A and B are shown apart, each in its own frame.
Chain A
Amino acid sequence: MHFSDRDLAPVWEKVQARERLSREDGLRLFETDDFLGVGRMADHVKSRREGDRVYFVINRYISPTNVCVLSCTFCGFARKKGEEGAFEYTLEDIVGMVSEEVREVHIVGGHHPDWPFEYYERVIAALRAARPEVQIKAFTAAEIDYFWRRWKIEPKEALARLKAAGLQTMPGGGAEIFSPRVAKLLHYTGKADAERWCEIHSIAHSLGIKTNATMLYGHIETFAERVDHLLRLREQQDASAGFLTFIPLPYQVGTTRVVPRPTPPTDKLRTTAVARLLLDNFPHVEAYWVLLGEATASVALHFGADDVNGTLEDERVQHMAGAQTPAGLAREQLCRMIRDAGKVPVERDALYNVLQVWN
């Protein structure tokens, strides 16, 4: 492989030899002008792992509430109790949201000041009872941590009880950027920090609950902070081995305007690629189409991504922050997005069991 930046050659040597990349390598990948060189290496790794396969799932996002005690600067979703636009769904509302074809529900919500932990247990149990075939992915580490802060329920107990009620996997949200500097500036010190976030995922993994991991980027963080975030996740995966998918989340400008413009598509592609190259122990890296946009997500399938997430019949968190992609793309559209990249669409469930190959 020929690189316009010769400094990438030693990184490529390591990639070919399946050697682990260092922090310096990670920084070089973010800083080099050879944006396509980074992509080509990630494409090589993706193809080596998954061939032409690209996964998607028919899923439904449910936010039981947007009422939240926190005030994270980047969030356009949260409302205070009683504020205009605040919502709180009942068990019946939530169960009624899951349509016939859905294979996975993804439940993430605000840190509600009053709802008891038992309500969340009941949500999971009710979904389980109504739709036993649907896999339930629910509650970020930040929410699990909040159950401790608010109700003094230890994460281990919380996760064990939720698992008993029917929870199967945990989403990767709430990680933001593992940087105390950024946490302070963007006012998210009130939620689980890197140590706590990783601890909770580690507990989940020990209970046999697979989880995802995310990184919110494209705001005020530095490349070094991105690399450190990825390496922290890699370290955690070495220790507890329960992560399925890494999902880089580009910050949506929307109404929160931490920065004036969204990070450009080239940065979204590069970040996907660097994640694929650094996270050698993560099975999957996702191009989350709602945040990348359909076109960039489709191109990202050449930059190391092997998953596009799903049909997402509802995704209030990001839509309220202004993600400008049509909600609820049907399966056919996801297949088109995957096929445009010359890849083979594979429909999966939350645990990556293959349901159907759409050739």
Chain B
Amino acid sequence: MLVEIRDKALGGKRLGRDEGRWLLSEAPLLEVGALANEVRFARIPDKVVTFVIDSNPNYTNVCVTDCQFCAFYRKPGDPEAYTLTVEEVLAKVESAAARGATTVLLQGGHNPVLPLDYYTTLVRETRRRFPQVTPHFFTASEIQTIAQVSRLTVGGVLDRLWEAGQRTLPGGGAEVLSERVRTRIAPKKGGPSAWLEVHREAHRRGFKSTATMMYGHVEQPDDLLDHLDAIRELQDEWGGFTAFVPWSFKPGNTLLERWIKQVKGPNTYLRMLAVARVYLDNFPHIQASWFSEGKPTGQIALHFGADDWGGTLFEENVHKAAAYVNTITVEEITALIREVGFTPAQRTTTYEILKTW
């Protein structure tokens, strides 16, 4: 099986579902890693690993969607619920910009009281006041919420955000793009088509976005294949995805916690990244997440097909709510990348290289 898969992958032929399933569940881990590494260097020959200086603030934790895996949200009226004003959010953007950030990934709960104008003002003012910062704002499910609240179509909301100056969307909220899994862990978020539709409409308009995956809860290998198939097909349509970013579920303080027998660790993560690199033949970049998997695993992942280190994440609150904390500096990032044999390069939100170390 391995020989045929290698021939196909390096010969530019697309892998099928059975091959994907074998790689996900049976292939020896280091064989998958070595193949992913070959594919990575065939596609990106330079021994360069990119990273972005960014921050992930949140504008509200108010949410009506009650996802089982989320420790961050609060229902409307909860004493711990908060919603920041436009100026408060812009102060966070300003502090990120002051530390050299070129990307601010802003996301929040699904707060039904915020009007469209709130979101477009955030984009417009970020562009106006901090032109060096790319507003990488609002995941697919937030766009849907905005559409419902403002009685526009998803496309209509995206048009307004585009007019305000937004050009990229973060890929969060995909979880696992399988009917079965989303019904179980995020029943009010809609099936996979909900997330896919927002990204399709975005790509059609010229937005770039990332695709994420949060695994390690109730999914089976076929659910993961559903996910990979779905984003690979969508990528064939418009080519709007810049990168695939998987991470493992952090069960702390969530409703799903008591159902989790074994948290998925580094071996599962390395396999997921490597399979993604081989299977997602139309994705330019695969991101290693030092943040969610730990720095050593992030470093090892650079030898398992990943070519991007993610960001500095100056501010992060969602994992923190699940009792998971990790921090880093630019100096540390460059040292960590270099010591495992790669040249660090700072990139933009859309993976253009700004500076090579």
Contact = CB atoms under 8 A, between A and B. Distances in A.
A299 B262 CA distance: 16
A341 B267 contact: yes
Contacts of A298: 265-267
B34 interface: yes
A299 B268 contact: no
Contacts of A339: 262
Interface residues of B, number: 31
B31 interface: yes
B265 A336 contact: yes
Contact of A4 (B28, B34, B266): B34
Interface in B15-67: 28-31, 33-34, 37-38, 41
A295 B33 CA distance: 16
A296 B29 contact: no
Interface stretch (A36-44, A128-136, A162-170, A306-314): A36-44
Which secondary structure dominates chain B's binding surface? helix
Given A36-B34, A261-B339, A295-B265, A302 B29 contact: yes
B4 to A, nearest CB: 13
Residue among B41, B266, B294, B339 having the largest count of chain A Cβ atoms under 10 Å: B266
Contacts of A283: none
B340 A266 contact: yes
Which secondary structure dominates chain A's binding surface? helix
B267 A340 contact: yes
B34 A2 contact: yes
A296 B335 CA distance: 18
B296 A295 contact: yes
A303 B30 CA distance: 9
Interface in A242-296: 261, 264-266, 269, 293, 295-296
B306 to A, nearest CB: 13
Nearest to A341: B267
A266 B336 CA distance: 11
B30 A340 contact: no
B31 A40 contact: yes
Interface string B319-341: 00000000000000001100111
B31 A299 contact: no
A337 B268 CA distance: 11
A127 B198 CA distance: 68
Contacts of A35: 303, 341
A17 to B, nearest CB: 21
A37 B341 CA distance: 15
A342 interface: yes
A40 B299 contact: no
A266 B341 contact: yes
Interface in B267-320: 267-268, 270, 293-294, 296-297, 299-300, 303-304
Nearest to B34: A36
B303 A299 contact: no
A238 interface: no
B265 A266 contact: no
Nearest to B268: A340
Contacts of A296: 266, 296-297, 300
B267 A37 contact: no
A265 B296 contact: yes
A295 B266 contact: yes
A342 B299 contact: no
A295 B297 contact: yes
A266 B37 CA distance: 14
B124 interface: no
Contact of B29 (A2, A265, A336, A342): A342
B175 to A, nearest CB: 21
Nearest to A39: B30
Interface string A207-220: 00000000000000
Contacts of A7: none
Given A43-B30, A265-B299, A266-B299, A299 B339 contact: no
Given A39-B30, A302-B29, A266 B267 contact: no
Contacts of A301: 267
A35 B41 CA distance: 14
A303 B31 CA distance: 12
A33 interface: yes
A4 B37 contact: yes
Nearest to B293: A295
A264 B299 contact: yes
B34 A40 contact: yes
Contacts of B31: 40
Given A295-B293, A340-B262, A340-B265, A269 B300 contact: yes
Contacts of B182: none
A39 B28 CA distance: 11
Contacts of B340: 264-266
A337 B34 CA distance: 22
Contacts of B268: 340
A314 B270 CA distance: 31
A295 B294 contact: yes
Contact of A299 (B34, B267, B335): B267
Contacts of B297: 265, 295-296, 299
B6 interface: yes
A265 B300 contact: yes
Given A36-B34, A261-B335, A264-B336, A299 B266 contact: yes
Given A43-B30, A264-B299, A293-B296, A2 B6 contact: yes
A336 B262 contact: yes
22 contacts: A2-B6, A4-B34, A36-B303, A36-B304, A40-B30, A264-B296, A264-B340, A265-B296, A265-B340, A266-B303, A269-B300, A295-B266, A295-B293, A295-B294, A295-B296, A295-B297, A298-B266, A299-B267, A299-B300, A302-B267, A337-B265, A340-B262
Interface of B: 6, 28-31, 33-34, 37-38, 41, 262-268, 270, 293-294, 296-297, 299-300, 303-304, 335-336, 339-341
Given A298-B265, A342-B267, 15 more contacts: A2-B6, A2-B34, A40-B30, A40-B34, A43-B28, A264-B296, A293-B294, A293-B296, A295-B294, A302-B28, A302-B267, A337-B265, A339-B262, A340-B268, A341-B29
